[in-house]
Amino acid sequence: MVKPTTFRRDDWGTPFSCGSAQDGAAFLLSLDGQGADGHLTIGRWMNNILTSSSRLVAGQWNHIGVTYDGATLRLFLDGKTDSAVDVRMGVTPSMPGSAT
């Protein structure tokens, strides 16, 4: 659940991230700071792979869901399928105390 107050260019607010901050090595779910219109972007560090079709609503709670079955990444907004992409994620999780 996210409740953004507004959308601004270059604001890539990140509700969720997993993995190490290296090119292609982290899963990121963020606001689309390029369009600044409420769309979401999913990507690997420095590599966007999916932008939502629908927009979040500023000032309201928005439910976001993501599934990945090893072949297809799916994005859900407010309980409805928004978009999907066939992709091989290969994200490397960051481990406490590990050098990355």
Q: Mean pLDDT per 10-residue run, the chain (100 residues)?
A: 93 87 82 94 89 96 94 95 91 52
Residue 63 domain boundaries: 16-86
Domains of the chain: total: 1
46 token code pair: 């420095």
Give the pLDDT score at 98.
46
User: Phi first, then psi: what are they for 35, rounded to 5°?
Assistant: -80, -30
Give the pLDDT score at 100.
43
Residue 67 lies in a domain: yes
CB 51 within 8 A of CB 13: no
Residue 10 lies in a domain: no
Q: How far apart are CA 4 and CA 18, in angstroms?
A: 20
84 token code pair: 């999907």
Q: Looking at residue 64, which CATH number applies to its domain?
A: 2.60.40
Q: Is 97 left (phi over 0), alpha (psi -120 to 50) or beta?
A: left
Give the pLDDT score at 73.
94
Residue 95 lies in a domain: no
Residue 82 lies in a domain: yes
* Cα–Cα nearest to 45, from 95, 15, 89: 89
